A and B are shown apart, each in its own frame.
Chain A
């Protein structure tokens, strides 16, 4: 057993209001720079929809992630040799237009245009060329455009539905959508790392954050293709690739990442998970339907004495173990089995998990009152406005059981609380619903508390990162390095010649 710590995340989609505050918080801190204008390390998409970059989930086009070749996983973009052969021109590199051309407006024109009979206007200009441009795409171009034949209809996940189901989905009465906020998943089997010819991308052993060494990147741009979530970006100005850094300078000082901190819906949970690195290679070599189980199988119980012993042997501190015990991520992913990985079939073992949304997906048109008839208790789930197969295509590689269980549990918690606070449901019905998903009243109550009432400290439990001690290990003369254990950047990141 090779126990390691992974800083992991849960996004509770039922709570996301699609306000994009998270995206703006991230942009203002990290990507408000030349060459990074088009990057959204955090973005929020409308589902069904095509997302950012357009139709990123379609790996027949983007060639991201891994492929299972009978126990011999390889990158979908080809063998190692092909990486070097394609270095002069990567045939699968997404282009700027797959994202959008960043623009601003000629605001000065509003002030210094000569007097005339027309109102002065501020025309859009490209932030790359500085020339006038037609704005044809942007981040969240299809925001809230569910039902659109141009955007939503091209969602790759709709392939999992029958023709009939697709038709129904676009009926105006059934029209429904939800939001999917996305950041880098800080995967356990990251394809971005595996594809980098320079070896510039690496996973930090102590906390599992995946980073790109800016000094080592040589613009071979293979990671951009390799990441199936399209969360590595090429900075066209500096000639270096960049990605979400999980706000590690904030984490190291005990603060939540900016998108977590600012989340209006408080949908974001962060905590440590212990996993067994020895089980890694085998856990991505199972058929699609078993991927979620295999993923859960490598995550270890921090209360298990054997795990704790092995963790200590690997240098994981007691205070870290204590934080992992309180991890909200462990509860959602392992104890309650409510949270699921996004597109596990890409086989990168993403460590950001999603609680699939119940509302508005299942809300009934009849005045918002739940259908609680005894004989078809869970009918809202089966007859959900967004078919369960769609959810399964997103969150469990097609295995509907996982998604159904998660939704049933959420539904049962709701009934449980409804009985308690309003009292207009039959107690037997509630009991039946709870039994159906093996849930005790106690568990229902804790799920309710951590979902609806959590404080910042309960949502974000940052394992101590001990950077100061790591430094001490590297260099016995700690005092000399005092105050210099930060980012370590010596120059402004300006483009070379």
Chain B
């Protein structure tokens, strides 16, 4: 019974809430969308937390995504041992970076009075979930070899079955408890995502790279110039004819 709750009900609920709440929040309370950076209050320790954390987590998540999208290719790639080792080590390095990052972020938040002053309960929930999740992930990478291969053969089919609305728990049933916790942890993070500062992930400002430097906003349409509508400005109306 609990399997249905944790592996079928939870993921569908989490993803539904993620989308509904994020969109609702974006429409109704856009002001609350922010990364809530605390660098202004404490900068030096943040460097050793935020930078390894973000690089590590982006790398690790990308790895999971690639495995999910191209499981057959990953298995083929791993068929040569050297390539398998390279992939595993890369993944582990990202995982360890994320672990170092999140540990120092937690430490900083708990030990810097100014940062503690801007800490909400949701911040603590998110930090705890992330810490646990990264710990489980790194533990899995270290003690259940070779994750990059068996992930493609067990977790991926299950995740794909969720996507096609034909949930099939068969492939994850034999997985060790640590890995199962890692799966549940992922859904819990998705669940709190829209209620937390994690929503800043929706705001990656990539378009900055191709927008012009300066932004000027007009309150009137510059093509159908306002002048025609106003009193005391007959000339432009004449010219327009």
Contacts and interface: CB of A to CB of B under 8 A. Distances in A.
Chains A and B are bound partners: yes
Interface of A: 80-81, 83-84, 87-91, 93-96, 126, 128-131, 189-190, 193-194, 196-199, 201-206, 214-221, 224, 234, 236-240, 312-319, 466-467, 469-474, 491, 493-497
Contacts of A90: 39
B50 A239 contact: no
A221 B205 CA distance: 13
Contact of B229 (A131, A194, A469): A469
Contacts of A190: 214
Interface in B17-73: 29-41, 43, 46-47, 50-51, 53-55
24 contacts: A202-B215, A202-B216, A203-B216, A205-B222, A206-B218, A218-B203, A219-B37, A221-B37, A234-B40, A236-B40, A239-B34, A239-B35, A315-B226, A316-B227, A317-B233, A318-B232, A318-B233, A470-B219, A473-B219, A473-B220, A496-B29, A496-B33, A496-B199, A497-B196
B205 A84 contact: yes
Contacts of B214: 189-190, 193-194, 203
Contacts of A128: 41, 114, 117-118
A312 B227 contact: yes
A275 B35 CA distance: 38
Nearest to A221: B37
Interface string B184-217: 0000000000011101100101111101011111
B215 A199 contact: yes
B230 interface: yes
Contact of A218 (B34, B117, B219, B222): B34
B217 A205 contact: yes
Contacts of A196: 208
A280 B43 CA distance: 36
A193 B217 contact: no
A497 B230 contact: no
Nearest to B227: A315
Contacts of B166: none
A88 B50 contact: yes
A217 B38 CA distance: 15
B226 A497 contact: no
B173 to A, nearest CB: 36
B233 A130 contact: no
Contact of B213 (A194, A237, A473): A194
A497 B117 contact: no
Contact of B31 (A94, A236, A496): A496
B46 A89 contact: yes
Nearest to B200: A218
Contacts of B236: 312-313
B37 A129 contact: no
Contacts of A89: 39, 43, 46-47, 50-51
A497 B208 CA distance: 25
B86 to A, nearest CB: 25
| Centre residue among A81, A189, A194 by max chain B CB count within 10 A | A194
Given A88-B51, A89-B50, A129-B113, A220 B219 contact: no
A239 B36 contact: yes
A34 to B, nearest CB: 10
B40 A491 contact: no
A221 B197 CA distance: 16
A129 B226 CA distance: 51
A372 B235 CA distance: 55
B170 interface: no
B221 interface: yes
A477 B50 CA distance: 49
Contacts of A204: 216-217, 219
A470 B31 CA distance: 25
Nearest to A191: B213
B120 interface: yes
Given A495-B34, A495-B118, 15 more contacts: A80-B209, A88-B51, A89-B47, A95-B41, A95-B43, A130-B117, A203-B217, A205-B222, A214-B31, A219-B37, A239-B37, A312-B233, A469-B226, A496-B34, A497-B196
Contact of B219 (A206, A216, A497): A206
B122 interface: yes
Contacts of A198: 203, 205, 208
A474 B227 contact: no
A474 B220 contact: yes
Given A194-B214, A466-B226, A474-B219, A497 B123 contact: yes
A216 B148 CA distance: 39
A126 B215 CA distance: 38
Contacts of B30: 215-216
B208 A93 contact: no
A215 B195 CA distance: 17
B191 to A, nearest CB: 14
Contact of B230 (A88, A131, A237, A466): A466
Interface string B66-83: 000000000000000000
